[in-house]
């Protein structure tokens, strides 16, 4: 009984917002974040791929400071939890609105 309880607690701790725990980190702005693949962090990915504006030293330092590892040749960045939650909420709202349209 105790073993199954402990397993349940560990499983609960291993999940955050439906995602398995990943490396936690601090962003260059001292926000809590998760070290994930660059392409999975919309604000930093957009900033790193903005070819319409000239990159400033401040942006370059931010991008370098956001880097927290690599998976093979793919950069990982410290993505702020607040930004990930916005993305999750946006996706949930999109799914909900599409479901509403489909059921009408």
Domains of the chain: 2-103 (3.30.1640.30)
33/49 Cα distance (integer angstroms): 20
pLDDT tens, position by position, for the chain (104 residues)? Answer: 544 433 343 333 443 444 445 689 999 999 999 999 999 999 999 999 998 988 899 999 999 999 999 999 999 999 999 988 775 544 434 433 443 444 44
The pLDDT value recorded for residue 21 is: 53
Burial 8-37 (b: 16+ CB within 10 A, else e): eeeeeeeeeeeeeeeeebebeeeeebbbbb
The pLDDT value recorded for residue 88 is: 54
């Amino acid at each position: 009984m105790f073993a199954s309880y402990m397993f349940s607690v560990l499983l609960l701790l291993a999940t955050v917002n439906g995602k398995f725990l990943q490396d936690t980190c601090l962003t260059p702005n001292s926000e809590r974040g998760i070290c994930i693949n660059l392409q999975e962090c919309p604000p930093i990915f957009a900033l790193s791929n903005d070819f319409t504006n000239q990159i400033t030293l401040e942006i370059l330092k931010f991008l370098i400071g956001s880097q927290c590892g690599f998976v093979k040749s793919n950069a990982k960045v410290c993505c702020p939890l607040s930004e990930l939650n916005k993305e999750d909420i946006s996706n949930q709202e999109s799914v909900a609105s599409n479901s509403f349209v489909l059921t009408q």
